[in-house]
Amino acid sequence: MVERSALSDIMSLYVPSFFIFLGMSLVSPILPIYARSYGVSYALASLAISMYAIGRFIADIPTGMAADRFGRKPIMVLGTILLTVTSFLNALASSFWEFLSYRLIQGVGSSMWMTGRTALLADMLKPEERGRVMGYFQAFMLIGSSAGPTIGGIVAAIWDLRTPFYFYALTGLVSLVITIVWIREIESPHDGRGKGQPLSIQVFSRLLSNRSYMMACLATFTVFFMRTGIRGTMIPLYGDGVLGLDTASIGAVISYATFTNLLLTIPFGYSTDYFGRKPTILFSLIVTAASSLMFPMTSDYFQLSLAAVLLGIGTTGAGQAPLALATDASINEPKGLSMGLYRLFGDVGFVIGPIALGLISDYYGLRTPFYFTAVLVFINALLILLLAEETYSRRKLDRSG
C-alpha cells in the first residue's frame, strides 16, 4: 500500500482537480456565443452544453466498470487526455457539428476523470476522514470553477473566442502530467473494494436494493437538478423576466451562491464526519428547499442575493454528504461501478433540470418552477429521513465509547 502524506494528497487529489475545473469553467462564459458564431439558432447553440452532459451520461456506468477492471489511474489518464485533445480541437473545428462531436467526446472524458477520481477517493479514504477530505477536494474544485469564468472572459476579450479553448487544453495538460506523476493505485484495507468481482445482475440488484446507497443517489440527483435547473437556468430567467435585473447583477447573484459554497465546503466536510452523513444531508436539503420557496417571493436584487446565499448554504452540504453516504453504503461493492452509478443519477439531474423547469416556466410562469423544486427537495428529505441509515458519525461513536 502507498503511504499517504499531506503533500501526496495535495498533489494527487487537490491540484489536478483545481486545474480540471479551472479548464472546464474557462469556456463557460463563451460557449453559447462561440456556438452561435457558426451561424446556428439559439436552440442549436444550447446543444454545446447539452452534448457535453450527454457524453457524461452515457459514459458513467461503462467508465465505472472499466475502472474496476483496469484500475483508476488508466481511466483518469485517458479521460484527461480526451479532455485536453478535444479542448484543442474545439478551437479548430470547421463546422458546428464537428464542434458538437468534440463536446460529446469531452463529456466522455469528463466522466472518465470524475468517475475514476471518485472511485480512487472511495478506495483510499477511511470513514472517519471522508467528509473532511472530500470537503478539501470540493474546495479546490470550487476555486477553479470560480476563477475560470473571469479568466475565460478576459482572454476571450484580449484575443478571440477560440483562445479559452487553448487555455482549457493547457490546464488539461498540466493536470495530465500531475496525474501521471503522482497518482498511485491503492488497495484500501478499509473496505472491500471488490475489484475482482465479476459484473452481474446481482451486483446491480444489491446496489439498487441498498436503501442508504439509493437515498444518496436520490440526493445527488436533486442537487444536480437544483444546480443546473435553479442556479443555472431559473435565477437568470427570473432575474431578467420578473425583476428586470441586468446581466452583471444576475451574474453577481449566482456568484454569491458559488462563493458561499466555497466558504462552507470545509466546515460541512467536518460536519459530515462528526454529526454524520444523514443529519448533514437532511439539514442541507431543508435549507435548499427553503431557498427555493424564498426565490419567487423576492422583489429586488438584495432579496434575490439573500436567497442565493441560502441556496449556497444548502447545496454545499448536499453536494458532499451524499457521496460519503454512498461510499460507506457500498463498502463491499465494486467501487468503480457503484461510483459510476452514483454519478449517473447526478448527471440525469444535470440533464433534465433545465429542461423540466423550462417547460414548467413556459406553461405556468417563472415563479412556479421554484415551488415545484421545493416540493421535490422536501420529498427527498422525507425519504432520506425514513429510509436511509446512518453509516458513520464520530459523535455517536464518542458517546457510545
Q: Is 157 helix (H, G, I), strand (E, B) or coil?
A: helix
User: Residues with Cβ < 8 Å from 158, sequence gap 6 or more?
Assistant: none
> What are residue 383's phi and psi, to 5 degrees?
-65, -40
Three-state SS string over 170-236 comes to HHHHHHHHHHHHHCCCCCCCCCCCCCCCCCCHHHHHHHHHCHHHHHHHHHHHHHHHHHHHHHHHHHH
Task: Give the pLDDT score at 9.
Answer: 65
CA distance 87 to 15: 19
Do 7-183 and 206-391 have matching folds?
yes
CA distance 108 to 332: 27
pLDDT of residue 10: 66
Domain range list for the chain:
7-183, 206-391
pLDDT of amino acid 216? 94
Query: What is the pTM (predicted TM-score) of this model?
Result: 0.80
Q: What angle do CA 230, 218, 67 make, to 5 degrees?
A: 105
Cβ burial, residue 147 (10 Å; 0-12/13-18/19+): middle
Q: What is the pLDDT of residue 196?
A: 46
For domain 7-183, the CATH superfamily is MFS general substrate transporter like domains (1.20.1250.20)
In this structure, the chain runs to a length of 401
Q: State the first-to-last Cα distance of the chain, in angstroms, to the nearest integer.
A: 30
Q: What is the pLDDT of residue 193?
A: 43
Q: Specify the CATH architecture of the domain 206-391.
A: Up-down Bundle (1.20)
For residue 346 the three cell numbers come to 447526478
Q: What is the pLDDT along the chain (401 residues), one digit of tens a residue?
A: 445 565 666 677 778 888 998 888 888 777 777 888 888 876 677 677 778 888 988 998 899 888 888 888 899 999 999 999 999 999 999 999 999 999 999 999 999 998 888 888 878 778 778 778 877 877 888 888 777 777 888 888 889 889 999 999 999 999 999 989 888 776 544 344 444 445 567 888 888 899 999 999 999 999 989 888 888 778 888 888 899 888 678 778 887 888 888 888 889 988 999 999 999 999 999 999 999 999 999 999 999 999 999 999 998 888 788 988 998 998 888 888 888 899 899 888 888 888 888 888 888 989 999 999 999 999 999 999 999 999 988 888 878 76
Mention every residue, 6+ apart, whose C-beta is less than 8 A from residue 258: 142, 145, 146, 312
